[in-house]
Amino acid sequence: MNSMMPLKGFTVLLLFQAAGELLARIAYLPFPGPVLGMLLLAPCLVSRAIREPVEACANFLLSHLSLLFIPVSVGLMTQLTLLRAHGIQLVLVLIISCAVGLLVTGWLLSWLLPADGEAQEPTVKSSEEKSKAAKQESAS
């Protein structure tokens, strides 16, 4: 692979994010720039000149997305007193309502899209899939 590819891909992502921010400002849309940038970029991926660099960069960014949430998540430490004031009840509410959301969505989709198997070959392999594949290889 061309060594410029990931760099070009990153540039494309930044440019589309900027375009998204611009669109949100001009049209007074209540959505964040990156989400609009994603929607703008998706149809442009038909072009190989755009898609290939983005592919080279996206795998790296998306396989460890959790890392990028650490700074925000550490920010909870500034809210500790607020959270403590409302106590354990609030944590309970958050856990139960999250489980309800997961169950309702999951059940509905399992029921509405029953025959949805894993027919399509994924292009972006997740880390867990990779480790499973590696295990199978070493076992055989």
CA dist 26 → 12, 16, 23, 31, 83 (Å): 21, 15, 5, 12, 37
Rounded Cα–Cα distance for residues 18 and 66 (Å): 23
**Binders of another protein among 101-120, rule CB under 8 A?**
101-110, 112-113, 116-118, 120
The answer to whether 58 and 9 have CB atoms below 8 angstroms apart is yes
Burial (CB count within 10 angstroms: exposed 0-12, middle 13-18, buried 19+), residue 59:
middle
**Binders of another protein among 19-58, rule CB under 8 A?**
20, 30-35, 37-43, 45-46, 51, 54-55, 57-58
Complex with another protein: residue 3 or 85, whichever CB lies closer: 85
* From 27, 49, 128, 139, residue interacting with another protein (rule: CB under 8 A): 128
| Residue 8 found at the interface with another protein (CB under 8 A) | no
Question: Shortest approach of another protein to residue 101 CB, angstroms?
Answer: 3
| Residue 67 found at the interface with another protein (CB under 8 A) | yes
